[in-house]
Structure 1
Amino acid sequence: MDYFYKNEIFDQIQLWMILPHVSQYNENTLVPAQVTEIPTGEQLAYYVINKNEHLHLNYEIELYSTKNEKKTLTEEEKKFYLRDTILSPINKETTRLAEEITYQQETDKEKARAIFYYIVKNYRYVYPPSCRGVNSFLKLKEGDCGEFSMLFTALCRAINIPARTVVGSWAYGKMNAHAWNEFFIEEEGWISVDTSMAYMQKKRPWSFFGESIRTIHWKKYFGQTEGQRVVFSKDIEIELVPAYKDEEEAIIVNSMVINGENFGWGQQSINGCAPYLQPIYIKFQVNNDLPFSLDASQVLGTWKIREHGLKLLLAVLKITSLITAAVTMLLNFIVHNLYLEATFKLSFIVFFLCFILRREYLIVFSIMLLFMVLSLLATLDGS
């Protein structure tokens, strides 16, 4: 994991970030001015970064799993994960909806599962969303992984099931941000849920066909994930320490819409909280020399994640074999050639093998693999 933020345009910024649970960093970097333990059990670091200074964290981290998470919660922790927030509100509408969805279920786990199915069935994935927050999502019926996860959190909390929106990234490539959920069952612990990925695999199953993500059947996203993600923050709307001071007369530079109202990213907070830490939140002052919009690196910094070992090998083989197969198949269509035909079929065999070794769609790709092997043998036999 390599994270980099450079302050190129502001005289000075304040920056908040959850420190990753690693023993050491591989780069010399800025020392935080303050570190505070927050209710999620994580450490929130506060930095002051002057112009042309940078924050650089380079480290190795295990892929995230709930197995090492705690199996019981204190009363204070339960209260925290049942709290009412702006992005995931507990109000008459969310409470009524949660009760309607779960009235036939008895256990908390069954109720959470009913909420999972309801969201996947009734909402549509759209990126980028026109508005953030559950209130807008309930009206528009469309949003991205953030809105899907915020709604799941709100509906669980509304019926007294501790839940959180987990903010992180896919464990490959550059700036592949993602958000999903966990809900808590006493003695069983935190259980993973990903409603937006379930939606994509149910409605658009080939969306990640050429990607490095090892997808699973959509129903399995209740209770597990594919195991290719890292976590930046174990909830949203984290209170910022030291206190975040909103600009009284902010000139909105980076505007996003939260529940129908403009919000100035980097100039305002949500009642002293960051909307989400992915992986940072910043505070800057605007002057007339600054642009009216900032790019992603000026707001979030940049991160890049690279897997090791067999997972990296299979991911590289999957993409390169698909590209090779597509190019040689096209060339063979234009100029029929035995070597081109054998190459594209062999490339597809490698491509299908990658899916099988990654345990993706085993039945489908086993059949496709068998078909392609027979086709290649027929081609070679005919030569």
Structure 2
Amino acid sequence: MSKTVTVDFFYRNELFEKLQLWMIIPTATQFNENSLKPDQVREIPTGEKLAFYVLNKNQSLHLNYEIELYSTKNEKKTLTDEEKDFYLRNTILSPINKEITRLANEITYQQKNDIEKAHAIFHYIVDNYRYIYPPISRGVNSFLEVKEGDCGEFSFLFTALCRALKIPARTVVGSWAYGKMNAHVWNEFFLEDEGWISVDTSMAYLQKRRPFKYFDSSLITLHWKNYFGETEGQRVVFSKDAEIELLPKYKNDEEAFTLNPMLINGEPFCWGQQSLNGRAPYLQPIYVKFEQNDDLLSTLDLPHLFGTWEIKEHGIKPFLDDLKKFSLIIALLTMALSFIFQNFYLEVTYKSMFIIFSLCFILRRERIIIFSIFLLLMSLSLLSTLD
């Protein structure tokens, strides 16, 4: 199976005479003559390159690049003192305060080393918080209060609790490596000489409490405990931490306005007009600054805030995904007709289609055990019909 995907990102300034845009430049990106060039590029503490663009009205930013599926194997195994300080910093979404420090010590008082402490934090979050989307409010302070949030809040809390114990940690912002705008956020914590270790508390929660949520999706899933230390290898990264400082300096609008502002720690926050002390809440994959225009700001939708992206798999995977959907439709249709007309050929057809459907899941490595059992049962049923 191919380990690369193609990412296609597009943003168009349709509303404003001018807007500013920041995004991490993927390492695979090559600018051709027709590409919009960034006005400024600088390296940030994560080791990535942050680009700054100015888009005039009706001007577009379009990036299309091939990239390997994300893995921590090639990440560095040691951190400089400056990098450690960066990944231990106190932020608005992942604050390090007395309450967080007390909670972190309470969770890990029996653990002896950093990996045991991180593991205890993983279990604590999975067992004590509930996944909902969309969240009522962003940030750890709200999450601690309502105990409900999405992948962002699960990740912000893990980052904060690790950092309170002096374990370098980061909130990784990215996407599932298939389909359109399948955003996701997870964590990594750092162990000296071992490097960055992946943790996904929100996926662990969903696989533990709602194991059939992704039953018919194109997402490979793991047993919930395995989300401490590994991922399914089906992700791309947009930014290797949240709250990245924006340069040129981001100046908040004094009279920021949108019809439906998001909440951060219970306080209204207008995306595209405000920052968190000069930092983007997160880059997924961009952050923007609009001109102040109350009439236009009231018409904003997701493409204006985040742009759009689509990720296409390579090799046989897209074919298997299409075949999976096609075979299921034919199987259900012919099964219904078979029950009505009691027809031998219809019965053979729907059972054969269910076999193909199961094989597609197995070859894509999705729910292998379940669909292997289903494949066996359907194969036996087909043989019985043919006899």
TM-score, normalised relative to structure 1 = 0.96
Task: Measure, in 1, the Cα distance between the counterparts of 2:110 and 2:385.
Answer: 58
Match of 1:172 in 2: 178
CA contact under 8 A between 1:27 and 1:56: conserved in structure 2? no
Q: Are residues 1:11 and 2:17 paired?
A: yes
Pair 1:27–1:98, CA change in 2 (3 A): farther
SS at match of 1:314: helix
Deviation at 1:104, TM superposition (A): 1.3
Q: Post-superposition shift, 1:316?
A: 2.7
Q: Report the Cα distance in structure 2 between the residues aligned to 1:219 and 1:358, rounded to whole angstroms.
A: 22
Whole-Å Cα distance in 2 between the matches of residues 201 and 28 of structure 1? 44
**Which stretch shows the higher mean deviation, 174-183 or 322-331?**
322-331
For 2:201 and 2:110, how far apart are their aligned partners in 1? 21
Aligned with residue 233 of structure 2, among 212, 227, 232 = 227
Secondary structure of the 1:166 match is strand
1:1-383 correspondence to structure 2 within 5 Å: 1-22=7-28, 24-25=30-31, 28-253=34-259, 255-381=261-387
What letter is aligned with 1:352?
S
Residues 45 and 281 (structure 1 numbering): CA distance in 2 closer, same or farther, change over 3 Å? same
RMSD: 1.6
CA displacement at 1:20 relative to structure 2: 0.3
Partner Cα separation in structure 2 for residue 380 and residue 188 of structure 1: 56
- Residues 27 and 128 of structure 1: is their aligned pair in 2 closer, same or farther, counting only changes over 3 Å? farther
**Alpha-carbon offset, residue 253 of structure 1:** 4.6
Structure 1: segments with no counterpart, 5+ residues: none
Deviations 1:269-298 (A, max 9, x none): 000000000000000123243152411111
Residue 211 of structure 2 aligns with an amino acid whose one-letter code is P
Q: In the alignment, residue 148 of structure 1 is paired with which amino acid?
A: F
* 1:217 CA drift (Å): 1.2
In 1: Cα distance, 2:280 partner to 2:254 partner: 17
CA-CA distance at 1:353 after TM superposition: 1.9
Task: Look up the SS of the partner of 2:187 in the other structure.
Answer: strand
Bigger shift: residues 94-103 or 236-245: 94-103
Cα distance, 1:23 vs. partner?
5.1
In the alignment, residue 329 of structure 2 is paired with which amino acid?
Answer: I
Q: 1: CA distance between counterparts of 2:316 and 2:33? A: 26
- Name the aligned partner's letter for residue 142 of structure 1: E
Q: Does the 8 A contact of 1:254 with 1:266 survive in 2? A: no
Secondary structure of residue in 2 paired with 1:59? strand
Provide TM-score, normalisation by structure 2: 0.95
Counterpart residue type for residue 48 of structure 2: E
The percent of aligned pairs where both chains have the same amino acid is 71
Residue 248 of structure 2 aligns with an amino acid whose one-letter code is: P
Which of 40-49 and 354-363 deviates more? 354-363
Q: How many residues align?
A: 381
Distance 1:56 1:151 in 2: 34
Query: 2: CA distance between counterparts of 1:23 and 1:47?
Result: 15
Task: Report if aligned partners of 2:362, 2:371 keep a CA contact under 8 Å in 1.
Answer: yes
C-alpha separation in 2, matches of 1:290 and 1:352: 49
Deviations 1:256-278 (A, max 9, x none): 00000000100000000000000
> SS of the counterpart of 1:266?
coil
List runs of 5+ in structure 2 lacking aligned partners.
Answer: 1-6
Q: Is the 8 A contact 2:31 2:37 kept in 1?
A: no
- 1:26 Cα offset (Å): 6.7
**Deviations 1:230-275, CA, capped at 9 Å, x for gaps:** 0000000000011001101222355100000000100000000000
Counterpart of 1:170, as a letter, is W
Question: Against the structure 1 CA distance between its residues 44 and 191, is the aligned structure 2 distance closer, same or farther, given a 3 Å change threshold?
Answer: same
Please tell me whether the aligned partners of residues 146 and 179 of structure 1 are also in contact (alpha carbons under 8 angstroms): yes
2:64, 2:31 → 1: CA distance? 6
Give 1:303's aligned amino acid.
W
